[in-house]
Structure 1
């Protein structure tokens, strides 16, 4: 070849190499462009899916909010409709004074629960009692709601025998209203006899106005919950109220997480595309020269076999880079090909399984795998879960997909989904079990109980429900922390499970509340023997780190069919029995009895009477003088509340104060006591102070500082003449919060004393950390002076401690001259008790102040 021809060949080779280089690079750029396009589309799809998921979740929570509202209305109306007193005063006869004036079924339902309308319809379908917006009105329910109520009345009366309530949504002037109705029955009150008339119907009406819906939406995390307007009807999302949305529809504004994702992700994808374009330009220049040089060196080695090898290698790399393994079988269902990923994923040998039947490796719950593959017209995109056993003997789960081949065989992929399936099973387990203890939760308890009740337990073989609540558990959390409390709950759960049989159920339904469902127990003695075993097991020491913790339990027992045949009633009766066990001293058990329900009804009546008494002046204040021990001079008096019930007579404070604390009336009661005590003391001589007891509940809620400021301002009393007595439980429950409130009270100028000193856990540390002015020695130390010399030493030590901390020490319960002489010998500051003076009403105390301002203690008694 001449040099001229050689030069021509090189030029053609260079041109070919350059063209190939540019073509390859353009293909690469096209591939990257496709990747970016796919990423962008995926981002749009993911954003749309996020928005759709958020919309579904908000619809779910809207439904839950409406269901919760209906459930609350049904529960509230049930408490009032199935009550013997309601039957007597609103069905047998309509007693407006009992219902409205005394607020048994009256304005509190508007102020406390928000019911805009309250109606009673008698057996002739005539409205005989109406309360609208908390005011007594003479209006028929059908006129007020502007529609017929006959269907609702019929449904409510149909549930009279089963004590079933109904709720429905109606449209009232364009505003949805929730109507709850129930027939008025005596419930379980044995003192009331039903008459032959149709039962009257109690109706509560709650309007879903804008404010109500915003409050509900805030509680359930649904934004802008409102009633759909005419312009919004037909749009989404929406939740219909009433039959086919007859009462209107609810609309809301779901969040748009997808839009936020697009706003974050698209700029990054665009930036990546710009970088790729820049890199493509740089690479194009470098690869052009490189491709020319490479083509010149290896042009002779490129042939069709090399291209085929590269294609096969590319396919193999793609297959092996996947998390799936690829398989092929012939028409006899035997493996003809398994990818290398088969060994990586399963740990099994490819060579050993080539030629083996696929049914020998994989199994399904729907029959053999070959039967599934042979289904005529089977959709090729449907996958199937299969099981196999790996080399370690563990069962694994794989998702198999398959397509037919022209030779009548099949090929497909297999993906290991063992972790995914186990996670789903775990989620299903947690949905019915308590996450801390692993015991069944309330959902599983209800399913189990419903199943057992459908089996129709008999009197000979009853179904026993045992409601159990731990005693002395709260101090464990308060003193040792919640981690220690969790250890105690786990240990108690294990002990409970060990005490029952295989077919029984132990469920955790609350913080330290458990429910046991027991079968195959034929006698009360057998149940009591189990209760004793449970108490003995729970009372055993529980070791936490280097110390032992002790708890006990109280139990309430109800049985089906003896007590009830409905799950809800059985649970309620067991709780009632549990309440009796706790009232009876704890660490014991009680079987449900009918009179327990009567006592609860009486307690509820007493609660209503107390609410009436606070508002209508049935309470009285007595004052017990406090004297200086050294010279007998009166220093002040402690205010003690008394309740003179018009029917029951004098009710002791230890009866009605716990009711006030449990029912939330303690704030109203305390306001009355503070105001009355300060107003009376403002008229006393300026050297006398008044002491008022505070409930621990007032430190948790109720704006104590603002309430005290208001009383001081209205009474005009000098704050230095007011002493507030608190117990140590205030510091135990919320140390930091209580300390802040007490410092604020001190800045107002008030005195603060620790009541019942010596009966708590760590009173010495509290005396140093909290701004106390005085402490009161618990009366129990004085009452045992004749029996124990240790109590004398304790009193002397407390007096010395108070003097060291500059605190005024007051002794309670001085009943004898010996008590007074002992307190003088130890130089106790002040004292009170029946030996010095019993509690006096306002007029007698004023008389005592007038004649005993300078008298000696012994002469004044």
Structure 2
């Protein structure tokens, strides 16, 4: 036997010492293995929770995207179905000329909204009007949809009285589509006569193709939203469309933060486990050799105790490496052990809490932790959320798991989930609040309104709704940027909230649109006092980037039950009153009145008639001659548009130009005016020019240069005989863009004049920088021409024009005194009723021929 190793006795005592050492190490290895398995399980559990949370979040936003699409389509079909004109022309009788030719309910619904199918089904469930892909066709709705629509028709008619549309998802040729249907009713139009037949139904069909689904996904932050295939249908990321997914299902690709966590964490745990196994093997060899070298009894005992202490130290190190803190308590609910991670996670002292009652530290939503642990037959794998205060007095949330110990008491782990809970609450908050201002959004507003209206407000204690819109807000965004606009919105939101009481509601429902609900207002005077306070508060200066910004507000007011008892009607009436407030000069308020709705209906009818008039030749062009003041020679004429309405007679432009600008018809109207004016002027003597007014909106859109160029080409008129009149608003809104556009127009050869000079913020720099050929003095100066100050102003304007080589034209010459004074200041040209009223094209041609044949001067 070699001499370098000590002789080891083979007595039972010595053999039991070696066995005890090895057994202790093997137990320690088993415990370490359990710890590593627990760590791996915790990683897998955390990964699953992260992926599950992301799955829930993406499913939530997918559901919101679908609900938003349904709400939008319901609102669109409601606007068209609950309309008196639609009732007259699609139910009382089917007028396809009104619907399709005049584009009231026709091609624009396909080009603007993408609705592939549009159907009107009469009281006998027969399709009487259909538009497919923007073209009028003759096809039954059931035939095109390839399925029965009886249920849809019944549900739409059920909502006729409450003006409630219905939506449903169907499958058309393998592609899901959203159908919106509403009974056609007169709405609030008092002029429409109803009949006893069942209501006709208006149906819109909006297919959810891949492009639309992708756009929905981008808008709501859902990645890869598409129609689910056979491979996707068993995935968790599936949202069914229609009942049990009969119309198809949506699938998306949620983020997988849990997989990233596993990819990083599991290799690290594996490396740690490998190192521990290696260390255990080394320790096992050393302790076995030491046990063989020690005495049979005493040394074996000492080695076992040392090994046990080492094992405990290693176990403690592994426990402290975990992200959770470990605890134990006795049968009296007092802590007997707290891991060192307790101090790192909570910031509290271990020594202070060991021996203290657990209920003094942690509490659940429903009571104490001891009560939860005492529940009979409690499942050991169920955890509970508890709250405690850290050293800074801040509330923290931890998830507690516990298992009973054999000798009595409990042990378990605690995981800090404060940030996770905050994130979930944030998602819930954003679903009902505006992300920018923190005010309630449309969803919360609707819930609040429904609850208050169910309480049945009375005339003595009405429910008051204020629809508030900011004035002069758009220039803030355009000139200072959206960051400044967001700051203004936040300041305004705070001011509005400060003006109302605790039980009231302030909601933001759009860009600069707010709705206030007042629940305890007893009189109209109180409402007006609040409106005055709101406007004064909004008008206070707001400091943005070391400069003061000023905005104001217009307010529309509707009350329940005086005006309406339905939330949708109350909102609509408040918007109508808001429109009246803006039309009344802004920075004021208006209460809803019944005639306001009539005016809105009248304006909608006038807009429809104007669209028809532009396409069907109801417009007329009059020409007002312009004369050279020095010798009375006619030099040209200004083209003025009129509307020959078949029922209302001749309508002046003041009535319909604003409607054309707001509805987008101004481009079509302007095209007709420019083209007609150039064609008429092409037949005049070559020394006469024609002057045409342009709207400021034409400088923002509409390819103005190409349109003018086409009119010049089609009429073959010399461009130098065409003058375009613009107002200074064009330069105020976008000076750089306007300058470039005017230079391009000048290259065509046309003349450009500044209209209404002196009424706004006309700047000398405009006249020097922009390529003007002339300027027109506004008629307001001539009405006061007998006053010395206005004579001096006109003389100064004429001198300014001569210095800049501009032709100066005076508008509104009404008397001989006006003409005399204009001659005295050497004004170049003039026009007005004293010289000639606007004439129809034929009468103007007669005047030109008469002057040419007689050579007689005018009264100038």
What is the TM-score normalised by the length of structure 2? Answer: 0.81
Change (3 A) 1:729 1:818: same
Change (3 A) 1:488 1:240: closer
The answer to whether the Cα contact below 8 Å between 2:563 and 2:570 also exists between their aligned partners in 1 is yes
Deviation string 1:15-35 (CA, Å, 9 cap, x unpaired) is xxxxxxxxxxxxxxxx9xx99
Aligned to 1:812: 811
How far apart, in 2, do the equivalents of 1:522 and 1:243 lie? 47
How far apart, in 2, do the equivalents of 1:564 and 1:855 lie? 69
The answer to whether the Cα contact below 8 Å between 1:55 and 1:255 also exists between their aligned partners in 2 is no
The answer to whether the Cα contact below 8 Å between 2:184 and 2:201 also exists between their aligned partners in 1 is yes
Aligned to 1:494: 494
How far apart, in 2, do the equivalents of 1:378 and 1:784 lie? 94
Change (3 A) 1:363 1:249: closer
Q: Measure how far apart 1:647 and its partner are.
A: 0.4
Aligned to 2:11: none
Change (3 A) 1:630 1:401: farther
3-state secondary structure, aligned to 2:351? helix
How far apart, in 1, do the equivalents of 2:394 and 2:640 lie? 73
How far apart, in 2, do the equivalents of 1:777 and 1:323 lie? 80
3-state secondary structure, aligned to 1:644? strand
How far apart, in 1, do the equivalents of 2:336 and 2:56 lie? 47
The answer to whether the Cα contact below 8 Å between 1:488 and 1:542 also exists between their aligned partners in 2 is yes
Instruction: Give the 5 Å matches for 1:738-757.
Output: 738-757=738-757
Deviation string 1:46-90 (CA, Å, 9 cap, x unpaired) is 89988x999888776665555455444433332232222333333
Change (3 A) 1:311 1:632: farther
Aligned to 1:18: none
2:743 equivalent to 1:758 = no
2:843 equivalent to 1:844 = yes
Aligned to 2:86: 86
Q: Measure how far apart 1:361 and its partner are.
A: 1.9
Q: Measure how far apart 1:234 and its partner are.
A: 7.5
How far apart, in 2, do the equivalents of 1:61 and 1:422 lie? 18
How far apart, in 2, do the equivalents of 1:748 and 1:42 lie? 73
Indicate the larger mover: 766-775 or 603-612. 766-775
Deviation string 1:1-25 (CA, Å, 9 cap, x unpaired) is xxx989x99xxxxxxxxxxxxxxxx
Instruction: Give the 5 Å matches for 1:223-622.
Output: 240-246=240-246, 248-249=247-248, 254=252, 311-320=311-320, 324-478=324-478, 482=482, 484-542=484-542, 549-622=549-622
3-state secondary structure, aligned to 1:859? coil
How far apart, in 2, do the equivalents of 1:448 and 1:232 lie? 39
Q: Measure how far apart 1:600 and its partner are.
A: 1.1
Indicate the larger mover: 814-823 or 589-598. 814-823
Change (3 A) 1:164 1:788: farther
Work out the number of aligned pairs and report it: 814
Change (3 A) 1:582 1:92: same
Q: Measure how far apart 1:186 and its partner are.
A: 1.7
How far apart, in 2, do the equivalents of 1:57 and 1:364 lie? 26
Change (3 A) 1:256 1:673: same
Change (3 A) 1:534 1:663: same
Aligned to 2:184: 184
2:667 equivalent to 1:667 = yes
Q: Measure how far apart 1:510 and its partner are.
A: 2.3
Change (3 A) 1:475 1:65: closer
3-state secondary structure, aligned to 2:636? strand
Change (3 A) 1:835 1:544: farther
The answer to whether the Cα contact below 8 Å between 2:224 and 2:253 also exists between their aligned partners in 1 is no
How far apart, in 2, do the equivalents of 1:389 and 1:107 lie? 64
Deviation string 1:587-638 (CA, Å, 9 cap, x unpaired) is 3222222222121111111111111000000001122233444444444332
Instruction: Give the 5 Å matches for 1:150-189.
Output: 150-171=150-171, 178-189=178-189
How far apart, in 1, do the equivalents of 2:432 and 2:343 lie? 38
How far apart, in 2, do the equivalents of 1:125 and 1:187 lie? 22
2:834 equivalent to 1:835 = yes
Q: Measure how far apart 1:504 and its partner are.
A: 0.9
How far apart, in 1, do the equivalents of 2:58 and 2:708 lie? 44
Instruction: Give the 5 Å matches for 1:2-17.
Output: none
Q: Measure how far apart 1:661 and its partner are.
A: 1.5
Unaligned runs of 5+ in 2: 7-31, 283-288
3-state secondary structure, aligned to 2:731? helix
The answer to whether the Cα contact below 8 Å between 2:383 and 2:401 also exists between their aligned partners in 1 is yes
How far apart, in 1, do the equivalents of 2:715 and 2:220 lie? 44
The answer to whether the Cα contact below 8 Å between 1:778 and 1:811 also exists between their aligned partners in 2 is yes
Q: Measure how far apart 1:563 and its partner are.
A: 1.9
The answer to whether the Cα contact below 8 Å between 1:225 and 1:250 also exists between their aligned partners in 2 is no
Indicate the larger mover: 210-219 or 421-430. 210-219
Change (3 A) 1:486 1:56: closer
How far apart, in 2, do the equivalents of 1:327 and 1:227 lie? 49
Change (3 A) 1:771 1:390: same
Deviation string 1:338-367 (CA, Å, 9 cap, x unpaired) is 334444444443333222211112222221
Deviation string 1:489-521 (CA, Å, 9 cap, x unpaired) is 344333333332221112222232221101122
Deviation string 1:169-218 (CA, Å, 9 cap, x unpaired) is 44556665544332222211222343223223333445566777777778
Please give the root-mean-square deviation of Cα atoms over the aligned residues, in Å: 4.7
How far apart, in 1, do the equivalents of 2:408 and 2:179 lie? 66
Q: Measure how far apart 1:664 and its partner are.
A: 1.6
The answer to whether the Cα contact below 8 Å between 1:631 and 1:856 also exists between their aligned partners in 2 is no
How far apart, in 2, do the equivalents of 1:225 and 1:316 lie? 48
How far apart, in 2, do the equivalents of 1:155 and 1:750 lie? 60
Change (3 A) 1:383 1:168: closer
Change (3 A) 1:631 1:708: same
The answer to whether the Cα contact below 8 Å between 2:469 and 2:514 also exists between their aligned partners in 1 is yes
How far apart, in 1, do the equivalents of 2:231 and 2:685 lie? 72
3-state secondary structure, aligned to 1:691? strand
Q: Measure how far apart 1:585 and its partner are.
A: 2.5
Indicate the larger mover: 647-656 or 211-220. 211-220
Q: Measure how far apart 1:411 and its partner are.
A: 2.7
The answer to whether the Cα contact below 8 Å between 2:465 and 2:570 also exists between their aligned partners in 1 is yes
The answer to whether the Cα contact below 8 Å between 2:223 and 2:254 also exists between their aligned partners in 1 is no
Deviation string 1:795-844 (CA, Å, 9 cap, x unpaired) is 44444444455444433333334444444455544433333333222222
Q: Measure how far apart 1:575 and its partner are.
A: 0.4
2:644 equivalent to 1:653 = no
Q: Measure how far apart 1:571 and its partner are.
A: 0.7
How far apart, in 2, do the equivalents of 1:651 and 1:55 lie? 61
Change (3 A) 1:781 1:304: farther
The answer to whether the Cα contact below 8 Å between 1:116 and 1:134 also exists between their aligned partners in 2 is yes
How far apart, in 2, do the equivalents of 1:856 and 1:821 lie? 22
Deviation string 1:747-767 (CA, Å, 9 cap, x unpaired) is 433333333333444734444
Q: Measure how far apart 1:255 and its partner are.
A: 6.0
Indicate the larger mover: 126-135 or 182-191. 126-135
How far apart, in 2, do the equivalents of 1:173 and 1:544 lie? 55
The answer to whether the Cα contact below 8 Å between 2:633 and 2:857 also exists between their aligned partners in 1 is no
Q: Measure how far apart 1:426 and its partner are.
A: 4.4
Change (3 A) 1:255 1:716: farther
Aligned to 1:783: 783
3-state secondary structure, aligned to 2:125? coil
Q: Measure how far apart 1:541 and its partner are.
A: 4.9
The answer to whether the Cα contact below 8 Å between 1:404 and 1:410 also exists between their aligned partners in 2 is yes
The answer to whether the Cα contact below 8 Å between 2:851 and 2:857 also exists between their aligned partners in 1 is no
Aligned to 2:10: none
Aligned to 2:285: none
Aligned to 2:20: none
